[in-house]
């Protein structure tokens, strides 16, 4: 493809992303499926530019407002090419001559931007840090003095993390295989099943995906699943399983022995989960569609499971570097509504834990309201549960502290929170003589 054709493809894709109600990754997948003639380099160039435009949306929009120009995908791309890529008006004009030529107002915009930089001293903090208004106060409270550094880390492109399926292969074997394909693969720092690729590539180049030997999963998400510490032969519930990324990790950790139930209210996502389980060679798991968090199935299975994972629906602030479009979609329920929903899910799923069993509450959020404060409120209302410190829950890789709290800046993962709780065991009855 010519540079002009790549620019047009970027504009077409950006328009699709902004007009769709779906996440950007789903839109891009559909876009490239319909354009199989794109090679890896074309696909990579379009994706890099698209995600750059999504990551810097606030600053680009601020410049367009300052210059009284419409905030359109085409104008945003022009601002980016001048302020971030350093192209001159003449260079940009030549590129667009091969496609849809620049209009007079567009050429005037380029001239006005000449000599400017992406960040301007007059920009408000939330614009400069690309932080939506609804999340500004909670995130500033969460991070304090390092708020700016943490927000900057959410603007860095993430690596591609893979999780090895130990039922089908080993990390050592797959790292060798990926390196033989010329891919920069390395073992992840914390997860014993993780492989990190620092290069964008077409997923078609990863043969292990089709065979079920590997799954795409951020290292932070892998660590959350490992915190459950599910053992072969146990009974386990993944309460908000979605498409089953953590279910797969849990079932493999159990070596296909025991029983895992993947629950969710979304039947379509659970169908995808079932397909992934079959591909991975998982035989000890089933899916269960729930009508709500208080479905009758929960009451019928009260106290029936050794381990329960709650990967609660949340604001998704921890996924912003991977899903930059998500930061501009405020939660439908608002943060307060999400906290209330999480509380109901927390209380309902906890009923499934048997005495002496463990419960892991997790989110991909970096807000205290959804994490530490949520756990504190649960413990007050449910005194039969207590916190298992990280050092005890995961002695091989976890640090000190009560909870797992990952951020892009400190751990080079997505932002995740997880708390390990245990239900008090029922004291054995004393013999009558002893009593």
Q: Is 427 helix (H, G, I), strand (E, B) or coil?
A: coil
Which of 324, 41, 51 lies closest to 202, judged by CA? Answer: 41
Q: Closest Cα to residue 186, out of 159, 148, 155?
A: 159
Residue 166 structure tokens: 């130990």
d(CA 110, CA 1): 25
Q: In the CATH scheme, what is the homologous superfamily, with its name and number, of domain 219-423?
A: Vaccinia Virus protein VP39 (3.40.50.150)
Asked whether the CA dihedral 249, 252, 253, 254 is positive or negative, the reply is: positive
d(CA 149, CA 143): 9
Per-residue model confidence (pLDDT) at position 82: 95
Residue 364 falls in the annotated catalytic set: yes
Average pLDDT, the chain: 91
pLDDT tens digit sequence for 164-221: 999 999 999 999 999 998 888 999 999 999 999 987 777 777 878 888 899 999 999 9
Q: How far is CA 120 from the centre of its chain?
A: 30
Q: CA 109, 115, 119: angle at the middle one, nearest 5?
A: 90
User: What pLDDT is recorded for position 401?
Assistant: 82
Q: Are 209 and 190 in contact (CB under 8 A)?
A: no
- Cβ burial, residue 209 (10 Å; 0-12/13-18/19+): middle
161 neighbors 196 (Cβ within 8 angstroms): yes
Residue 400 CB contacts under 8 Å (≥ 6 apart), including other chains: 389, 390, 391
Comparing CA positions, the residue from 59, 106, 108 lying closest to residue 83 is: 59
pTM score: 0.92
* Strand intervals (E) in 177-304: 185-187, 194-197, 214-216, 235-238, 259-264, 285-289
Q: Cα-flanking dihedrals φ and ψ of residue 148, to 5°?
A: -65, -40
Tell which CATH architecture fits domain 161-209. 2-Layer Sandwich (3.30)
Task: Identify the pLDDT of residue 435.
Answer: 39
Identify the pLDDT of residue 398. Answer: 60
- At 311-357, the pLDDT tens digits run 999 999 999 999 999 999 888 888 999 999 999 999 999 999 999 99
Which residue in the list 131, 240, 314, 364 is annotated as catalytic? 364
Residue spans per domain, the chain: 3-131, 161-209, 219-423
Give the whole-angstrom CA distance, residue 126 versus residue 45. 28
Give the pair of three-digit tokens for residue 433. Answer: 């003589």
CA distance 325 to 53: 10
Low-confidence ranges of the chain (pLDDT < 70): 396-399, 427-435
- H/E run at residue 73: helix 73-83
Place of tokens 């990790």: 249
Share of the chain above pLDDT 70, in %: 97
Which residues fall within 8 angstroms of residue 3, CB to CB, at 6 or more apart?
Answer: 95, 98
């Amino acid at each position: 493809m010519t540079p002009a054709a790549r620019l047009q493809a970027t504009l077409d894709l950006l328009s699709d992303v902004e007009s769709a109600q779906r996440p950007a990754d789903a839109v891009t997948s559909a876009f490239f499926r319909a354009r199989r003639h794109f090679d890896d380099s074309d696909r990579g160039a379009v994706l890099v530019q698209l995600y750059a435009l999504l990551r810097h949306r606030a600053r680009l929009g601020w410049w367009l407002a300052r210059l009284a120009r419409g905030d359109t995908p085409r104008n945003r791309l022009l601002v980016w090419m001048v302020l971030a890529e350093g192209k001159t008006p003449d260079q940009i004009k030549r590129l667009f001559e091969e496609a849809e030529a620049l209009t007079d107002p567009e050429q005037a915009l380029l001239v006005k931007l000449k000599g400017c930089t992406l960040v301007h001293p007059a920009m408000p903090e939330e614009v400069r840090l690309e932080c939506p208004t609804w999340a500004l106060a909670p995130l500033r409270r969460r991070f304090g003095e390092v708020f700016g550094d943490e927000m900057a880390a959410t603007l860095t492109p993430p690596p591609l993390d893979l999780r090895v399926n130990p039922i089908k292969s080993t990390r050592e074997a797959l790292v060798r295989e990926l390196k033989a394909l010329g891919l920069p693969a390395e073992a992840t720092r914390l997860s014993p099943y993780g492989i990190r690729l620092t290069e964008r590539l077409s997923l078609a180049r990863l043969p292990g995906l089709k065979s079920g030997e590997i799954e795409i999963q951020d290292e932070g998400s892998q660590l959350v699943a490992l915190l459950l510490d599910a053992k072969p032969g146990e009974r386990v519930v993944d309460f908000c399983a979605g498409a089953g990324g953590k279910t797969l990790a849990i079932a493999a950790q159990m070596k296909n022995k025991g029983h895992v139930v993947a629950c969710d209210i979304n039947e379509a996502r659970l169908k995808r989960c079932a397909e992934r389980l079959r591909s991975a060679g998982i035989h000890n798991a089933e899916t269960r569609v729930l009508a709500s968090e208080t479905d009758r199935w929960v009451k019928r299975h009260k106290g029936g499971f050794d381990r329960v994972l709650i990967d609660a629906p949340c604001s998704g602030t921890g996924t912003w570097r991977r899903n930059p479009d998500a930061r501009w979609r405020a939660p439908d329920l608002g943060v307060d509504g999400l906290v209330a929903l999480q509380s109901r899910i927390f209380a309902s799923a906890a009923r499934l834990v048997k005495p002496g069993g463990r419960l892991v509450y997790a989110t991909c959020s970096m807000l205290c309201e959804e994490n530490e404060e949520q756990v504190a409120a649960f413990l007050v209302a449910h005194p039969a549960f207590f916190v298992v410190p990280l050092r005890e829950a995961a002695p091989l890789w976890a640090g000190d502290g009560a909870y797992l709290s990952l951020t892009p800046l400190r751990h080079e993962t997505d932002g995740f929170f997880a708390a390990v709780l245990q239900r008090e065991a029922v004291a054995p009855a004393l013999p009558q003589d002893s009593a």
